[in-house]
Chain A
C-alpha cells in the first residue's frame, strides 16, 4: 500500500471516528451496577438479610459503644465495633468498623481532613443510656437524648439505629430493612481469586472484597434530594420498585465523563454522599455518610419490599434508600432538621461552612479553551470595554502553558504574563490560570523532578510511580492525601516559585477526579497506592478534594494569609465548600442542559457547596444565539457566573451575535452587577449558616407542596424568585409563585398574587424574575468596567411592601478581599420598613476594636413598590433633613413598567443608623 494512500485511509478513519463518537456518551466504558460486584451483590439482597444484633452496649468516653455480632454464632465472623456519639444541634454520629484488637490485615480507610476541628468541640459527652423495650423485642433498646426533643435509638435485635421525636415518631433510621452488610478484610487464602477485570484493566484487589451496604429510611417524606453530582432532576426519582423501569442506582464516583447526558443517575465529577428528605408534615431530615470509596445509592420506590413479607415496625409513610460502598468504614451522620435550613446548617457544621469568596469572584467570569495569546487577551478585554460590558475575570485554559507543564507559560504566546496581568488589574480585573494534578513526566520539568525525587507521586500496585495519560501525555499524579505533599504544593504558588504570576492571579483546578485518559473508566486504577498504604479505591472520591485544598492553601500562603483564595474545582467532595467554587463540568450547548443546570446547582447548594455554576453557553457545541442569550439570562443568577467554551466551538463572546443580542446579554450581565450587593450578602449568609445562595423553592416555602419538585424556578436568597426559560421561541410560561404574599416583577414592578400559578408572556429581553413582597433588596445601579470600581458607588434600596405595608432586608459589606471580616471588620445592616418609616439597624456585633471596616458609601435612591403615590417628601433622622419623593423609573436602563415611588437622593451613609419617614 503506498504511503499516501495509507495516510488517506487513516485520515478517513479518524474523521469517521470523530463524526460518530464525538456526539455520544460512551456508556459501555463505564461500569454499571451489574458489572460492579459489590453493587450487584447488595442489590440482590432481600430485606431481612442482616442477622446482626447489637451486644455489649455501654458508655465509654462519652460515646455509646456496642458490638455487632451474628445472631447465630458463626466462628468465621468477627464482631464489628459500633460507636454512637451525639453533637449539638441534633446530630447523631454512627461509626462501625472492624475491631482493631482482632488484627485485621489492614486498617480500613477513614477519610481525614473533612470534618472540621470545631465539630469535635460540639460533642455532647454522654453519661448514660436509658433502655426501652420496643414492641415485642426480646432485647431492650438503648436510647440517647439528642437535645431539642429528639432521641437516638440503638435497637439490639434486630439491629437498627433510628432517630425519633422524643418518645414518638421516627425521623430517619438505618437497617430497618435488614440490608446491612459489612465485608471484613481477610488474609488471602489459596484459591481466592479477587482480581477484577474491566475492559482490559485489571484490578488486583489485594485485600479482597470489603464493601459495606445498608438501608436508610426517611419518614414522612415526600421527596429525597442531594447526593450530587448527577445530571438529574432536583427531586430524586426512585431507581427501583414496582412500575419503575430498570435503572442504575445513583452512582457516586468522581469521573470525567465526556459529554454527559442531561438526565442520568450516572456519576459525574463529584460525590457528596449527603441526602436530604423533605415532607410537608414533618419537615426536613438528612443523612450523610463520610466515605470516599465508590458509592451507589438506590432510591426505592413505594412497595419495593412488598413481596418480602417484612413490614417495618413503623407504619409511617417513608422513603427507603439503599447505600452501597466499595470500601471504607461506616461514619454516618443523622440530621434531624426540622427545617431545610436547619439540616443544611447541621451538615455544614460537620463539613464546614462555605468560604467567603472575594468580591470580584462573585461577578462575571469570561473563559474559553483557549484565549490564545497576550494579544487575544488584550483584544477580548478591550472589546468588553468597547461595548461597555462589565467583567471581572479572564481565564486561561491549558494552552497557556509550556507543553501542559503547569506553573509555566508558553513563551511564544505569553511572553510577558506579568505585564498582561498588571494591565488587566489596572482596570480592576483578575486572571485565572489552570493548574491540574497530572504532572508531565519530563525530567526537565522542575515539578516532576522534585516530585519524583521526594516520592510524592501516587504509586501503582507494584509500587512504582503511577504513569497515566492526560493532557501532557505521559503523566504522574501527586499524592495529595499526604499532608507533606500538600505542604510542598502550597509553596509552588508563591510569587517567586510561580514565575509569571502576580497577586491578581488565581487558580483553576481541572481534571482532579482524577481524569486519566488511559485508566479504567478514565480514572486511576483502584489498586493504586497512596500515602499510608491507602488504596485508591478507598479515597478515590476525595482525591480532587485534597488537591483543591492544597491549591487553596497555596493561595492563602502566597499572600501570607492576607488574601482570600479563589480556586475553582471540578471534582467535589464533602467539605469542598471550604476551599472555593465548583462548576458542573463539561456540559453541552443544548436546552436540556440549560434546564438541568438549575437542578444541579440547586443540589450542590443543598449539600453545602453554595458557590457553583454551570458553563454559560454550554461547553461542547455551538449554542444558537437564542440559547446563548437565555443561558446568560439564567447564568446571571448562578452563584458562580462564568461563560466557557470548548476549543472547537466558535467564538461566542457577548458581542458576536448582532447588536440586539449584545444588548440583551449585556443587560443580563448588568443585572448580576446591579444585584452584587444582594449576592454578596447572600454569600455571607452561606458563610455563616451554610444556607446556599441559590435555593430550591421548598427551602423558603417548606409547607408548600407545589414547590417540592419544582426545579424550573429557584430562589436567590429569600427575596428573589427566578424562572428559567428552557425552550426555544417560548411565547409564554407558567410560573408558580409560592407563599401568601404577592410578588413584584423585577423589571416592571407589576404585582402577582402568591400561592398561585401565573401564565406569563415570555420576553426576549429577560427571563421572569420576581421580588418577594416584604423584601428589601440592595442594589448598585451604576455601570462600571468591573466590580472593583463599584466599591464607592452609592446604593439603591428597593423596598417591596407586603400586604401589611412592611418589608425588610439585609446588607453585608466588607473589604471584599482580606480575612479581616473574621475579626469583625464588616458592616452588616438590617433595613426594616414599617408604618411608613424605613430604619437602618446595625446587626454586626460591636467590632472588637482591633479591626473595623469603614465605608463612605451612601444611599442615592430608595424605591418603594406597593406604596400609594401621594407623598412628596420624606424626613431623614437624625439629620432632620427633608428630601424629595417623586415618581421615577424602576431601572435606569430599559425600564418597562410604570413609574414608581422614589425617594430622591436621601444620601444617608450606608454604615450609619438612620430613619427615613415618608411624609
Chain B
C-alpha cells in the first residue's frame, strides 16, 4: 500500500512537462482523445453528440457529459484536470473552474483574471511527500507490529491450547473423584436419614396434640385477611380485588407481556385519553437492557408497582417473583392497594415519598409542579431527556440558578452517537477507496485520530478474577494432593458404623464440596478458554492478544472504551452507555462490529464500528501498554 502511494507520487513527478499544444483541463492520457479528429469533429464521450475543434473549451456546453468543456465551467457535469507539477495531479469538478477560489496548487483552475493563484505545488508537494514518508514509516511499523502480534499469538495460542488439554485431562480425573465422594456422601446421608426417622417416630406421638391446635388458629387468621382485602379494593376503586388482580397477574406471567401491560395500566391510559402507543412495547426491552440482565417479561409488573421491589429485592427469576407477589398480596395488601390508587392524578395519597414525585410528573398534572419542575418537564419534550433525573440535581443544589446548566445538555451523547455511527459508514467508505488523492487530503484528519488520547489495557473480563486460583491447577502436585486426600477419606470412613461418626461425615461432605468446587472452576476455565479460542482472531490469528485488552479514547467529554471480542461503551462522568456487544469483524478484518447496544432515544439500537486501522495506530502510540502484555 505504502509503496504504491509512493509510486504514484513519483509518477506525479515524472510527468511535469506541459506541452504547449495540450488542451486545458485534460489529462495527458486523455489528450489523444481530443486529437483524433480527422473529420474535424470530436465525439462526446457519452456518444450523445459531437463538436468541432473550435467548440472545444469555447465556454459553451455542447456535450451533456462535459467532453467539450474540460477546461471551463460551462458543463455542470464536467471534470477539470490540473497537472500540479511538483505535486499530485488532481481532477476537479467543473464547478471549481474560474470560481475565484484557488483549488489547484498550480493555479490552473483560475485563469480568467478574477483572482491570481500562485503556484504552490512545490511547497505543497514537499509537505505531502514528508507526510507520505511518515505514513509509510507508520505502515511499516504497523507491519512489524503485526508480525510481532502474529508471533505472540502463536505462542499464546499454543499456551492456551496446552492449558486447555491439560485442564481437560484434569477434569476427567476430578470428575471421577467427585463421583466417588458423592457416592460415599450419599451412603452416609442414607445412614443419617435412617437414624433421624427413628428418632422422629418417637417424637411424633408426643407432639401430635400441640400441632393440631396450632393449625386451627392459623386458618382463622387467613380468613380475616381475605375480608380486609375485599374492603380495601372497593375503597380504592380497583377493578378487582387484589386477589383477583393477583391471579390475573399470575396468569399473565405466561402470556405475552403486551396484554398484561394493558390490563395493568388501562386505567391510566383511559384517563389520559391516549391510545396505547406501540412504542410502549419497547419498555421492558429497554429496562432489560438498562438492567443489563435478561429480565423476564414479568419485569413490567414490578415496574408498575415499584414498592414490591423494596420488599423482595430479588426478582431475577419468575418463580421468586410469583412467590413474592403471593406473599405480598396476602401480607401487605393494604399498601399495595394504596399504591395502585396513586394512579397519576392523585399523587398525594402515595405512601412512599420516593414514588410520589415521579408519579406526579407522569400524570402531567402540571398544576402540582413547582415552576422549576414544570420548566424542566416542558423542556424535556424537546430535549427528549429525563426531567426527573435533573430534578435530583436541583434538589441538591437547593434551587441555585447558577450551576444547573447540565439539564438540557445531557442528551447530546445520544444524538452524537447516532451521528457518529452513520458517519463512520462514510468514513469507512472513504478509507476503503484509499487512493493517492484521498490519502493526501486525509492526512490531516487521520492525524487527529492518531493524537487522540487513547490507551489500551487489560480487560477485566469475567473469567479473569478466578484464574489466579485455577492457575495453580497446572501444578501436578496439587492434583496429587487432592487424590491423596480423597483416598484417605474413603478409607477412613466406616460406612457400616452406626450411629454415623459425625466428624467423619462432615469431613466427607467438606471434601466433596471442595473437590466439586475445584471441578467447577476448572470447567468454567475450560469453557472460557474454549470460548476464547472459538473466536475469529483473523486469518493468521493476529488479533489474539486483543482478547484481553481494552482501548480507551477520550473525545471531548466522552470516553470511548472498546474491548475487542467483548463490548464497547461510551462513558461520560459516571454515566455509561453501552454501544454494543462484540459481533464480528467486517471488511476483511478492518472493522470491528459491536452491535445491540443500548437503545438510542427514539432510535435504533446503538452499534459501533471501529476501524481496525485506528486501533493499530493506537497500539503503536502506546507501546508501553503493549509491552505490559
Contact = CB atoms under 8 A, between A and B. Distances in A.
Interface of A: 1-2, 5-6, 8-24, 26, 29, 199-200, 258, 370, 372-373, 375-376, 379, 383, 388, 390, 399, 403-404, 412-413, 426-428, 440-444, 468-474, 516-518, 522, 586, 622, 646-651, 656, 670, 781-785, 789, 792-793, 860-861, 888-889, 892-893, 895, 904-905
Interface in B126-179: none
Nearest to B279: A19
Given A412-B557, A650-B603, A783 B76 contact: yes
Interface string B372-384: 1111111111111
23 contacts: A2-B309, A5-B313, A8-B290, A10-B358, A11-B290, A13-B388, A14-B358, A15-B287, A20-B277, A258-B378, A258-B381, A370-B412, A375-B448, A390-B95, A403-B405, A441-B401, A471-B408, A647-B412, A650-B418, A782-B76, A783-B95, A789-B101, A893-B64
Interface in B99-141: 99-101, 114
Given A13-B359, A469-B379, A783-B76, A443 B402 contact: yes
Given A19-B280, A19-B282, A782-B74, A647 B415 contact: yes
B375 A469 contact: yes
Nearest to A782: B73
Contacts of B283: 12, 15-16, 19
Given A9-B355, A14-B386, A517 B376 contact: yes
Given A473-B401, A782-B73, A892 B379 contact: no
A474 B404 contact: yes
B76 A892 contact: yes
B405 A404 contact: yes
Contacts of A649: 602
Contacts of B307: 1
Interface stretch (B14-22, B53-61, B242-250): B53-61
Given A5-B310, A646-B382, A783-B94, A23 B414 contact: no
A651 B358 contact: no
Given A258-B381, A650-B422, A893-B77, A785 B96 contact: yes
Given A1-B355, A18-B601, 9 more contacts: A199-B367, A469-B374, A469-B379, A471-B408, A473-B407, A646-B382, A781-B61, A892-B75, A892-B76
Given A5-B309, A20-B277, A522-B378, A474 B99 contact: no
Most buried by B among A376, A403, A441, A470: A403
A686 B101 CA distance: 33
Interface string B66-100: 00000001111100000000000000011110111
A22 B64 CA distance: 49
Given A26-B364, A473-B375, A647-B412, A5 B306 contact: yes
Nearest to B97: A782
Given A13-B359, A443-B402, A651-B418, A21 B309 contact: no
Contacts of A2: 309-310, 313
A747 B368 CA distance: 60
Contacts of B254: none
A12 B303 contact: yes
Nearest to A259: B381
Contacts of A517: 374-379
Contacts of B101: 426-428, 785, 789
Contacts of B557: 412
Given A9-B306, A24-B274, A18 B382 contact: no
A751 B303 CA distance: 65
B342 to A, nearest CB: 12
Nearest to A14: B386
A688 B307 CA distance: 69
A10 B371 contact: no
A799 B277 CA distance: 55
A200 B73 contact: no
Contacts of A379: 423
Given A10-B386, A893-B64, A200 B368 contact: yes
B605 to A, nearest CB: 13
Contact of B405 (A5, A14, A473): A473
4 shortest interchain CB distances as A-B pairs: A469-B375, A200-B367, A518-B375, A517-B378
Given A10-B388, A16-B283, A472 B374 contact: no
Contacts of A428: 100-101
A651 B603 CA distance: 11
B496 interface: no
Given A9-B306, A889-B64, A789 B100 contact: yes
B9 to A, nearest CB: 22
A402 B411 CA distance: 16
B362 interface: yes
Nearest to B352: A1
B280 A651 contact: no
Given A24-B274, A518-B375, A199 B366 contact: yes
B343 interface: no
B286 interface: yes
Interface in B268-321: 272, 274, 277, 279-280, 282-283, 286-287, 290-291, 303, 306-307, 309-310, 313
Nearest to B311: A1
A895 B419 contact: no
Contact of A20 (B96, B280, B355, B376): B280
Contact of A860 (B60, B62, B401): B60
A816 to B, nearest CB: 14
Contacts of B75: 892
A441 B402 CA distance: 7
Nearest to A899: B49
B575 to A, nearest CB: 12
Most buried by A among B274, B277, B386, B401: B401
B220 to A, nearest CB: 33
Given A9-B355, A443-B402, A648 B100 contact: no
Contact of A785 (B95, B310, B402): B95
Contact of A15 (B60, B95, B286): B286
* Residue of A443, A473, A522 with most partner-chain B CB within 10 A: A473
A573 to B, nearest CB: 23
Nearest to B415: A647
Contacts of B286: 15
Nearest to B101: A427
Given A1-B352, A413-B556, A399 B60 contact: no
A895 B287 contact: no
Contacts of B95: 388, 390, 782-785, 789
B227 interface: no
B213 interface: no
In this complex, which of B101, B274, B415 has the most chain A Cβ atoms within 10 angstroms of its Cβ?
A: B415
Given A5-B313, A518-B372, A651-B419, A474 B280 contact: no
Contacts of A10: 358, 386, 388-389
Contacts of B374: 469, 517-518
A199 B371 CA distance: 12
Nearest to B383: A647
Contacts of B389: 10, 14
B388 A860 contact: no
B468 to A, nearest CB: 30
A10 to B, nearest CB: 5
A24 B382 CA distance: 12
A289 to B, nearest CB: 31
Contacts of A390: 95
A792 B114 contact: yes
A797 to B, nearest CB: 15
B421 to A, nearest CB: 9
A403 B279 CA distance: 32
A651 B414 CA distance: 12
Contacts of A17: 361-362, 380, 387
A13 B382 contact: no
Determine which residue in B58, B95, B98, B379 has the highest number of CB atoms from chain A within 10 A of its CB, and name it. B95
